[in-house]
Structure 1
Amino acid sequence: MKRTVTALALMFATTVAASSEECPPAPDHTAGVDRIIDEIRKAENELAARELSQQLWEFWTDAPDESAQAVLDRGMTRRNAWDLLGAIEDFDKLIAYCPSYAEGYNQRAFANYLRQNFQAALVDLDRAIELSPNHVAAISGRALTLLGLQRIDEARDALSLALELNPWLSERHLMAPGGPLEPPGQDI
C-alpha cells in the first residue's frame, strides 16, 4: 500500500511539474517585421513583394522554443493535408502552452476559416492582431473572415489596413471595381 501511495504521489508530482512548465517569450522580431513591411511598400512589383513576404513568415513562425516549434510545425503539416481537426487540436495545445504567441492563434484561425467556422476564426484573428499588430496575414485573414460573415464594411476596413502594410497582397483584387469589397460609390 505504501508503494502505491508513493507511486501515485510521484506520478502526481511529475504531472504537476510538466503542466507548470512555462512557454518562454516569443522572439521579438518587431524591428525585422517593420523593416520588411517598409521594403514591401517600396517593392517595384508583386514578385519582389512576395519574396519579402516569405521573410515575414520566417519571423511569424519562429516559435518560442523547440517544443512549441514542433507543435506549430505538426499543426501546419496537418492543416496542409486537410486534417483540419487534427491541426486545430495541435494549435489548441500550442495556445495552451504559449498563450502570448500570436502565430498559434493565427494558424488556428486559418484552420477554422477553412472549415468555414468564421466566428471562431475571427476570435483568434483578433487575438493574433492584438499580440502582433502588424501581422499582415492575420489582418488580411480577418478581412476574408469578415467577408465570409457578410460583414462587408468591416471586411473592407480590415483589408484597407492590410493593404496599407502590404499594397501587393493578392487580396487587393477584392477591392477592385466589381470586387466584393469595392468601395461604395466606385461603380461606374
Structure 2
Amino acid sequence: MIRATAMVLGLILAAPAWGRDCPPPPDHAGEISALLDRLARAGDPVQAQRLMNALWALWFDAPDARAQDLLDRAMERRAAGQGDEALALLDQLVEECPDYAEGWNQRAFIHYLQGAHAAALAGLDATLAREPSHVGALAGRALALMALGRDAEARRALDAALARNPWLPERGLIEAPGTDI
C-alpha cells in the first residue's frame, strides 16, 4: 500500500503543469482600445503597421513567465518551420492558460498553415471569445472561412477586420478577380 501510494505521488509530481493555476492575462484593454481607435483612422499602411505592431506586442504579453516561455518557444519553432513542435507547445499553453487569447490565436495560425481549416476556425473563435477586437484573429477567421467555402461568413469577418484596420493586406481579397467575397 505504501509503495502504491508512493508511485501515485511520484506520477503526480512528475506530471506536466496542466491545469496549473495560470494567472489571468495582463489587462491591456485600455491600451488596446486606444490603439484600435487610432488604427481605424490610420492614414496610410505604414502608420497602420506601426499600430498593429504595438497591438501584437500587447497580445503577445503572456500571463506569466512560464506561459511566455511556451509562447516564445512556439514562435521560434514556427519560424524554423517546425510546425508540429510549435503546435505541441501551443497545445500545452492553451491547456495551462485557457483564458489567454493569443495562445489560441497562435495555435489556430499553425492549424491554418497545416491546412486544418476547421481546427483553425475553432481556435480563432476561441480567440475572439476572449479578445473580440483581435484584428489578426478576425482576418484569420475570414481566411479560414474562405478555405472552407463559407464565403458569406468570410466577407462578414473580413469586413469586421477592415473596420478595425482598413490597411490589412487581406483587403485585396474583396477586390481580387475570381473571389466571391
Superposition RMSD in Å: 2.0
Task: State the shift of 1:11 in Å.
Answer: 2.0
Cα distance change, pair 178–13 in 1 and its aligned pair in 2 (3 A): closer
Cα distance change, pair 179–39 in 1 and its aligned pair in 2 (3 A): farther
1:16-55 → structure 2 map (5 Å cutoff): 18-19=17-18, 21-55=20-54
2:97 is aligned to 98
Identical residues among aligned pairs (%):
43
Between 168-177 and 22-31, report the one with greater CA deviation: 168-177
Cα distance change, pair 77–19 in 1 and its aligned pair in 2 (3 A): closer
| Deviation digits for residues 61-113 of structure 1 (CA, Å, limit 9, x no counterpart) | 10000000000111111111121111110110001100111111100100000
| Deviation digits for residues 133-173 of structure 1 (CA, Å, limit 9, x no counterpart) | 00000010000111111111111110000001111111111
Q: TM-score, normalised by structure 2?
A: 0.92
Structure 1 or 2, whichever has the larger Rg, is 1
Q: TM-score, normalised by structure 1?
A: 0.89
> Could you say what secondary structure the match of 1:133 adopts?
coil
Task: State the shift of 1:23 in Å.
Answer: 0.3
Gaps in structure 1 of 5+ consecutive residues: 183-188
Q: In the aligned structure 2, how far is the partner of 1:38 from the partner of 1:179? A: 33
1:130-145 → structure 2 map (5 Å cutoff): 130-145=129-144
Q: Which runs of 4+ in 1 moved over 6 A?
A: none
Pairs aligned (count): 181
Cα distance change, pair 21–172 in 1 and its aligned pair in 2 (3 A): same
Q: In the aligned structure 2, how far is the partner of 1:165 from the partner of 1:130? A: 17
Contact kept? 1:173, 1:179, Cα under 8 Å:
no
Q: In the aligned structure 1, how far is the partner of 2:176 from the partner of 2:15? A: 58
Cα distance change, pair 15–28 in 1 and its aligned pair in 2 (3 A): same
2:114 is aligned to 115
2:82 is aligned to 83
> Could you say what secondary structure the match of 2:128 adopts?
helix
Cα distance change, pair 57–17 in 1 and its aligned pair in 2 (3 A): closer
Q: In the aligned structure 2, how far is the partner of 1:87 from the partner of 1:19? A: 17
Cα distance change, pair 133–26 in 1 and its aligned pair in 2 (3 A): same
> Could you say what secondary structure the match of 1:64 adopts?
coil
2:67 is aligned to 68
Contact kept? 2:124, 2:141, Cα under 8 Å:
yes
Task: State the shift of 1:15 in Å.
Answer: 4.7
